[in-house]
Structure 1
């Protein structure tokens, strides 16, 4: 048996034992006595590296803003509207005998617009007046019949009284007494009949008077007048045209609109309606560039079911009739002043909940978020409400900070 393989096997076994089982001791032996363990080594911070706290500060640009009081106007879009617009209708049928007025004509209140041919209406009036005269003439005869009937009643009562006294003394028969009483009853019936005749005559008079009034009213309806001062929006009915009250559209004579004063009509959202009051000053810029001033005269108490907005009307003087019906208008309604800050629009941001606001610098030089509401957008910036009287607002770098982050602000002068 050769000893060499056995020696080699012992050496390999010893090496594997130290390499696997006693690995740490083997490494320490190999490192030498002058080396120190790795876990005792401490790293030194470079001399030019800033402290950790200093490296976390975010540099931003801010402005020191001071609140100012501004007019808080309510802006709505709307249109002009005629104060009044009326389709003037004839109340009776007939042929027009007046000359037509062209549309655009300025008419005054009470001016004749249409006149209808009277036809037989004058004859009907004359007949009604004749019936009235006949009824009036019958009254004296009815009065005389009443007087006569009352006289006969009085005579019958006297005879009845005399017959009753004579019968008590035995000088008159019962037959005479009964005859006298019958005469009284007959006279009373005559009085009632005469009074009925008088009442019938008076009723005939009233009926005749009603007939005369109806005939006269029918003649009065032959002329159609302008109900108010305004402009003709349509031509009046042509001469020779038949106006019929039984037609589907009625007997239209003309359409009149009133443009002085004129109304501006807009719809205020429910979030702004509390800031509008009747009597407030208001202005508008029309689509053609003209600007007008007026006053709020109406604010609806009921919201539109579809848009949830409230109708508002502003009355504006229009003596020269330059403002037309249906023009688009941007309406501005004055409201109570509010304290607000003028800031660049770029300063606006949103928080994690989607609330509109701005980032500010606190006294501890930390970033903060303040919710704001937009009052007005101008070429110089936006007017915001919701900030304190003075605020350091971040205008550059606000998107890189969150509330509580340390900041180093450099301040920019405002253009106020």
Structure 2
């Protein structure tokens, strides 16, 4: 019954003795075996790597791709104006219905002149009366100047006679007083003339105000376009600020989009652009405006594209996908699996050099498609490793097996 526990104790003692007292010998044997294995592997590797590490590569040639800027936007009228009354009055013109085309200067709303024409006639009469006073005021001034000259002559004569003892001091004083009186008369006449001229200016201002008030009775289209609303109804009373009509100019129409700041340097004034409406219709135009200030909330820049619309098919507010042409870029189409990273984390691919060695080259990812990725930064012709690039480093000799693109 006690034989089994004794046997277990002997085996445990033996194992403890081996692991503790024979540990160095066992470690030496393991290291020797590992060294033998490594030497054998090195010898085998030298034989297999004598012609380079086997990789799969493709011969790629750069192609020019369209690097257009794609935006979402909408159409806007080239010009839009809301015409409102500037004076009060009752509409006496027949209304025009929305959708009608109007020419520049066409009458849209006509207001009742009431007593405004009489006011204008009165202002013109006052102006005529003020102008008629000019000759009389001028004659008075001329007469006053002549009297002043006569008084000055008498004063000079009296002064000379007084020097010779032929005139009394009283006479000299009288002539000087006459000169002063004549000068006062000249000033009075001149003031009368200026007052008459002021009256003319006031009358002219009254005439101009009456003319302006009458001109405000006729509300006309400032440019050719379409009526977006009915004009004011016949008989309705308009107060200053009330709506007469809304006019849109839709030829040309403006495509408006917003360019992100990462793409704004790729958009040029005058660049051709295409648009695709939600209806499927395609339109063409060119860039006419690019904002210099970013939207403070979206950090995007407004871009406007002018599109001819002679048939007025395009409407204000239609959604559109905008494609603005940009300079083409030389790029390679490669499988996404060809991409790798270097020790610094840079994105790139490994190429096969003329000396049949591997070389890492950084690239720029332009576009990702279902057929692969478009990459820039490679030479015009490049042998790109697509399988095995992770197992080689710069300068390592490789034995490439070339694969046709698309296999």
Q: Indicate if the aligned counterparts of 1:266 and 1:312 stay in contact, CA closer than 8 A.
A: yes
2:316: which partner in 1?
325
CA–CA separation in structure 2 for the residues paired with 1:157 and 1:375: 99
1:373: which partner in 2?
364
TM-score w.r.t. the length of structure 1 is: 0.78
TM superposition shift of 1:320: 1.2
1:262: which partner in 2?
253
1:140: which partner in 2?
135
Match of 2:283 among 292, 299, 306: 292
Could you tell which deviates more after superposition, 385-394 or 95-104? 385-394
CA–CA separation in structure 2 for the residues paired with 1:51 and 1:361: 27
Q: Indicate if the aligned counterparts of 1:350 and 1:357 stay in contact, CA closer than 8 A.
A: yes
CA–CA separation in structure 2 for the residues paired with 1:315 and 1:268: 16
2:332: which partner in 1?
341
2:102: which partner in 1?
107
* Structure with greater helix share of residues: 2
TM superposition shift of 1:122: 0.6
Match of 1:301 among 292, 314, 322: 292
2:377: which partner in 1?
386
Match of 2:263 among 249, 253, 272: 272
CA–CA separation in structure 2 for the residues paired with 1:376 and 1:106: 47
Q: Indicate if the aligned counterparts of 1:260 and 1:321 stay in contact, CA closer than 8 A.
A: yes
| Partner SS, residue 143 of structure 1 | helix
Deviations along 1:107-147, one digit per CA (max 9) or x if unpaired, are 22111111111121111101101110110121122122112
Match of 2:272 among 267, 275, 281: 281
2:111: which partner in 1?
116
Is 1:156–2:146 an aligned residue pair? no
Structure 1 residues 117 and 192: alpha-carbon distance in aligned structure 2, compared to 1, 3 A threshold: same
Is 1:412–2:403 an aligned residue pair? yes
Match of 1:244 among 218, 235, 239: 239
Q: How many residues align?
A: 374
CA–CA separation in structure 2 for the residues paired with 1:43 and 1:126: 125
| Partner SS, residue 276 of structure 2 | strand
TM-score w.r.t. the length of structure 2 is: 0.80
Gapped runs of 5+ residues in structure 2?
1-13, 19-28
Q: Indicate if the aligned counterparts of 2:60 and 2:381 stay in contact, CA closer than 8 A.
A: yes
Is 1:314–2:309 an aligned residue pair? no
Is 1:362–2:352 an aligned residue pair? yes
Deviations along 1:140-194, one digit per CA (max 9) or x if unpaired, are 2212211221232233223323332332333332212211211111111111101
1:253: which partner in 2?
244
1:33-48 to structure 2, matched below 5 A, reads none
Is 1:231–2:226 an aligned residue pair? yes
Match of 1:210 among 189, 199, 205: 205
TM superposition shift of 1:275: 1.7
1:93: which partner in 2?
88
CA–CA separation in structure 2 for the residues paired with 1:39 and 1:194: 133
Q: Indicate if the aligned counterparts of 1:349 and 1:356 stay in contact, CA closer than 8 A.
A: no
CA–CA separation in structure 1 for the residues paired with 2:261 and 2:131: 68
In terms of Rg, which structure is larger? Answer: 1
Gapped runs of 5+ residues in structure 1?
1-18, 24-36
